[in-house]
Amino acid sequence: MKALLDALAAEGPRAEADAALARAIDAARLPAHIAVIMDGNGRWARRRGMPRVAGHKAGIGPVRSTVETGARLGLRALTLYAFSVENWKRPRSEIATLWTLLRIYLRAELEEMQRHDIRFTAIGRLNELPAHVRRELDAVIESTAGNRGMRLNLAINYGGRAEIVDAVKALIKDAPGEIDEAAISARLYTAGMPDPDLLIRTSGEMRVSNFLLWQIAYAELYVTETLWPDFTRAELLRAILDFQKRQRRFGGVPASSDEAPVEAAVLAR
């Protein structure tokens, strides 16, 4: 958190509104893991009479800002939904442009990842990606493997159902003595990471789009009408503030709740 406040102070008056939001955040109650469905690039471009790829290009800036802000806040993990298993249905030219933009982003941001001690990983069925895409990903994964700051996960050729299928296949192959939630969690792409506390979706769509289906069982959802290319640092900070106003129950009832005695009485009947 201090790193973010220091950076905002260095930006001067133009960052005062963001600094006010940051100061309102309780550093002791930050979400450990934030997941983001980056939606709305196509609509952003269409509203401006531009091709869809222009929206994807415009979306690079918010990725940079979100990653940098997350690292400065001290998040343990940030997962960005970049390309789903269903996205192969898109025009080949659009997919090719996405791979080009990914290469540009990875090469341009590697230095910043190192500066912020970010460990980069990719999750999904990576073996199905084009060889040149896999090489770019592997190079950055290897270069940042020793970093100990925020874990940045890029979900690419990812699907929540596919992930669970892959975990079950690994479980069958391993033939453990007992199959339980812990055994499945240990074989997910995100094994060893905390589950997302907060799931952000841009563009106003009210669905999770096959994203981290197992992991978001108790995540808090934050949906904004903002299209991804317009998603700012302030929007991220507002999402965290909204998260901190909520009471997380994980299916239970707080001991101090007035409802607790009533529920206990009902159960005793």
Which are the catalytic amino acids? 39, 87
* Contact present, 125 and 90 (Cβ < 8 Å): no
Q: How far is residue 108 from each of residues 103, 104, 136, 145, 259, measured CA to CA in Å?
A: 8, 6, 12, 18, 53
| Beta strands 119-123; 77-84: pairing state | unpaired
Tokens of 240: 């965290």
* Contact present, 225 and 51 (Cβ < 8 Å): no
Alpha carbon distance 41, 125 (integer Å): 23
In one-letter notation, the amino acid at residue 135 is R
Alpha carbon distance 230, 14 (integer Å): 18
Q: How far apart are the first and last CA of the chain?
A: 49
Is the four-CA dihedral 244, 245, 251, 257 of positive or negative sign?
Answer: positive
Query: Token pair 């949906």 is at which residue?
Result: 223
